[in-house]
Amino acid sequence: MTVRPVSDAPPRRALVAVLMGVSGVGKTTVGQAAAAHFGWPLFDGDDFHSAANIDKMRRGVALDDADRADWLNALRARIGQCLHERRPAIVTCSALKKKYRDALRQDSREVLFVYLQAERNIVAKRIGARRGHYFRENLLDSQYAALEEPEEALAVQAGEPLDRVTAAVIALLENALQNAR
Q: Where are the domains of the chain?
A: 3-180
How confident is the model at residue 124, as a pLDDT? 76
Task: Give residue-wise pLDDT tens across range 41-73.
Answer: 999 998 998 899 888 877 878 888 899 899 999
The CATH class of 3-180 is alpha beta
CA-CA distance, 11 to 177, in Å (whole number)? 8
Residues of the chain above pLDDT 70, percent: 83
Task: Give residue-wise pLDDT tens across range 29-45.
Answer: 999 999 999 999 999 99
Task: Give residue-wise pLDDT tens across range 82-97.
Answer: 998 989 999 999 999 9
Residue 6, pLDDT above cutoff 80: no
* Amino acid identity, position 122: I
- What is the pTM assigned to this prediction? 0.84
Strands 3-5 and 153-157: antiparallel
Task: Give residue-wise pLDDT tens across range 115-143.
Answer: 998 887 887 787 766 665 555 556 677 88
Q: Which residues pair with 3 in a beta bridge?
A: 156
How confident is the model at residue 144, as a pLDDT? 82
